[in-house]
Amino acid sequence: MPYKEKKVEKLYYSIGEVAEMLEVPVSTVRFWENEFDVLKPMKNKKGNRLFTPTDIKNLKIIHHLLKEEGMTLSGVKKKLSEKWDEADHKYEINDSLQKIKSILLDLRDNI
């Protein structure tokens, strides 16, 4: 099996990097930051937003609920205010399954 280097995880990500990860415009990330209290990115002296891996995870949960589940903005706010732990747990399961699928497809293609 070939050696695969571990993916380097940064401490802080710029808003552009986050928008690229989620495949949404930067303005969408800014909008979500204003709409959801759980998103509190740090800001440097210049005022640039710096997102932590936790912020990115929360953004991915919000993105999943809005874009993939088709929920409305108010529906997502209500769900997250009531059942944040449940949404987080479901996202973790979905993310793990996507990684397993990717590994299996990679194995299939290399056989």
**pLDDT of res. 51:** 92
Q: Map out the domains of the chain with their CATH numbers.
A: 13-110 (1.10.1660.10)
**pLDDT of res. 68:** 83
**SS3 state of residue 9:** coil
**pLDDT of res. 3:** 63
**pLDDT of res. 96:** 82
Q: Is the pTM for the entire model greater than 0.85?
A: no
Mean pLDDT of the chain: 84
Give CA–CA dist 36/81, Å, rounded.
10
Q: What secondary structure does DSSP assign to 42-72, as a single string?
A: EE-TT--EEE-HHHHHHHHHHHIIIIIS---
**pLDDT of res. 84:** 67
Give CA–CA dist 68/9, Å, rounded.
25
**pLDDT of res. 81:** 77
Residues of the chain with pLDDT under 70: 1-8, 84-85
Q: Which of 98, 97, 71 is nearest to 83 (CA)?
A: 71
